[in-house]
Amino acid sequence: MATKKRSTNTTPAAKGIIENAGVIIEQEITSTLETNYMPYAMSVIMSRAIPEIDGFKPSHRKLLFTMYKMGLLNGAKVKSANIAGQTMWLNPHGDQAIYETMVRMTTGNEALLHPYVESKGSFGKAYSRDMQPAAARYTEAKLAQIAVELFGDIDKDAVDMADNYDGTMKEPVLLPVTFPSILVNNNTGIAVGMASSICSFNLSELCETTIAYIYDEGHDLLSTMPAPDFPGGGQILYNREAMEQIYKTGRGSVRVRSRYEYDKAANCIDITKIPPSTTVEAIIEKVIDMIKNGRIKEIADIRDEIGLNGLKITIDLKRGIDPVKLMQKLYKFTPLEDSFSCNFNILIAGQPRVMGVRDILEEWLGFRVECIRRRTYFTLNKKKDKLHLLKGLEKILLDIDKAVRIVRETDEEAEVVPNLMIGFGIDEIQAEYVAEIKLRHLNREYILKRTQEIESLIADIEAMESLISSNAKIKRVIVDELKDIIKKYGQPRKTLLIHAAEEEEYNEVEEIPDYPVNLFFTKEGYFKKITPQSLRMSGEHKLKDGDEITQSLEASNAHDLLFFTDKCQVYKAKAYDFEDTKASVMGDYVPAKLGMEEGESIIKLVVTKEYNGYVTVFFENGKAAKIELSQYATKTNRKKLVNALSDKSKVTDLYYIENDCEFLLRSSGGHLLLVHSGAISPKTTKNTQGVQVMTLRKNQKLALVKLYQEGELEFPHRYRKKNIPSAGSFPTQEELGEQMSLI
């Protein structure tokens, strides 16, 4: 009996082994980033997170265009699930993601100043974290009336159309918006390595400002549009300098306060408007935490009373409490006052750009001019085509009987058009049009009525050609459109303006426990506030790699902290602004906590309470300035002082002294000089250049300054000079020994 031989396949796959498994292939990190990471990053920036000049991200644009194609501009509301499903023809994401995009644009959610979607049903609230929208199958929506301004020219070739993801449909690259929608509704997004945060402005103010800008590019924008206008209302603490910075650079922050009413009969405060960057739940949680920690003792109860009338947080007060002082305290320590960070990052021609308001208006104006030129050109061609046909029809008017005879006597249908062309001297398009006229219309009355349009068409064509060739005329059209938008959709400002300088800020010095603390500041900018008891129980300090403690000070919880920076600015804080911590934590990163400028570094921390003594500043050019510390005291609680030091030369070092003392200076050339601060006259001007204390040779600088302790130098008299400025003396070989390691 014959037996079959079993197959003996010994390939790696047959044995269940993956070829090259476990083999490490070396690849340059730059190559990996370029081929794998960069395409992903650019996709997120361009296709998801950053809005374009029409004010929309792709997800918004696809959704709104789908609703437009569904006839929801004038039709009745339809189920949101239907809208989400239809949008998937353009946006290949899950219906839940599409629905979440729509929710934010609805009237019910109250996230936008001018919502584009009119809604019915529960869509949650932007000011509440816990109020979630109902499922898409329960809610209904249609386009709001203002959406007319998004699609008015969409069918007139005003913007480019592109294929959708599978090439079965066309969608607009941008929407031909008739107003600067990029600045009308707030828009935020986080991409890879960059973000965008655009605040909203009042529609009427924005349109008026745009009109003024069209007539005068140097127009003062703040005169017609003083500040943003947030959908939730509230109060902006108005600072013109900060606002000018935002308008100019597109970066900065706006301080927004809640609005409240005091009910004397019920002894309670009703919060009715909150900042856009927080929620009702976040506010209540923070207040409850402060009550538990004993920092707030004036409140009997706090509760969420959101209802049909909108947002409401009720705070019941204890007997005898001043509501104004309590609100000042809450503004300082809770999100009832918060900052909206502005970062006007917009995609322009596929490139992200951070722009000020004037630049944005310029870009939008250029975009809108092109839209009007394109729609006019589209209509112009239509009218030219119609005029061409009517001129052919006009020739028929000369002899209708001839036209009928030509048609009747032509043997073959295919020869009708050529015979009409020969008989009347018209082209093929005109002949086709004449040949298609119904028999009932071959009468003089019909033809006369149609040919009467010729004169009006000629006038329209001349006007359109004149419009296309003149930017000034196009801008007049834009002005007329903006004026019409103000009439149709303008609404009063929701956010009130109060001047920050006039608002009294809560001062908690007397009410905050004043206890001893130890303060530590590091070279990298980290700060720790530790109580003596906690310090005794702590081990080694936790520091960032390469970091070290440069200042260790004893103070109290009520002391003022002055952070002097290398950009000639002083940032002021209170010790109690920082939480008590332990040595085992890294501490607070001061530049981030105090909102310092990018690249700004802290030179020295000065701690004071009475603002006695002096700040002695030494500059690299050999000059020194002794400034009275009282010059940095302010009546209002200003957080930042500009021009706090001279910017004529870089600061070598800075010391706070209460009494005159001696400093040891070393030049980059190695010379030493002992200078007594008593020889430097005190100044009352913060940005004084001071006086020359050390003369330096060419290309040399003052490299190091330290407080001199008696005994550190073996022959100190060699470095004490009768008069300043002085070049000092070069140390002897004996003095270049161990003691010189001190400097």
Q: Which residues contact 243 (CB under 8 A, 6 or more apart)?
A: 222, 226, 227, 252, 254
Q: Is 127 a catalytic residue?
A: no
What is the dihedral sign for C-alpha 709, 711, 712, 714?
Answer: positive
As to burial, measured by CB atoms within 10 angstroms (0-12 exposed, 13-18 middle, 19+ buried), residue 530 is buried
Instruction: Determine how many CB atoms are found less than 10 A away from the CB of residue 5.
Output: 6
* Two tokens, residue 73: 């501009």
Give, in order, the Cα–Cα distances in Å from 319 to each of 299, 301, 328, 549: 9, 12, 18, 48
Q: What secondary structure letter does DSSP report for 90?
A: T
Alpha carbon distance 464, 378 (integer Å)? 10
- Contact by Cβ (8 Å): 601, 525: yes
As to burial, measured by CB atoms within 10 angstroms (0-12 exposed, 13-18 middle, 19+ buried), residue 486 is middle
Active-site entry in 37, 138, 165, 515: 138
According to DSSP, the residues that pair with 614 across neighbouring strands are 628, 657
DSSP string, 480-535: HHHHHHHHHH----SSEEEEGGGSPPP--TTTS---EEEEEEETTSEEEEE-HHHH
Radius of gyration of the chain (CA): 37
Nearest Cα neighbor of 521 from 483, 573, 472 is: 573
24-55 burial string, b = 16+ CB within 10 Å, else e? Answer: eeeeeeeeeeeeeeeeeeeebbbeebbbbbbb
Q: Report the amino acid identity of residue 679.
A: A
3-class DSSP state of 452: coil
Alpha carbon distance 491, 484 (integer Å)? 13
- Contact by Cβ (8 Å): 204, 490: yes
Q: Which residues contact 309 (CB under 8 A, 6 or more apart)?
A: none
Give, in order, the Cα–Cα distances in Å from 443 to each of 398, 409, 433, 438, 447: 12, 19, 15, 10, 6
Alpha carbon distance 256, 236 (integer Å)? 5
Full 3-state SS string of 94-153: CHHHHHHHHHHCECCCCCCCCCCEEEECCCCCCCCCCCCCCCCCCCEEEECHHHHHHHCC
* Residues classed as catalytic: 138
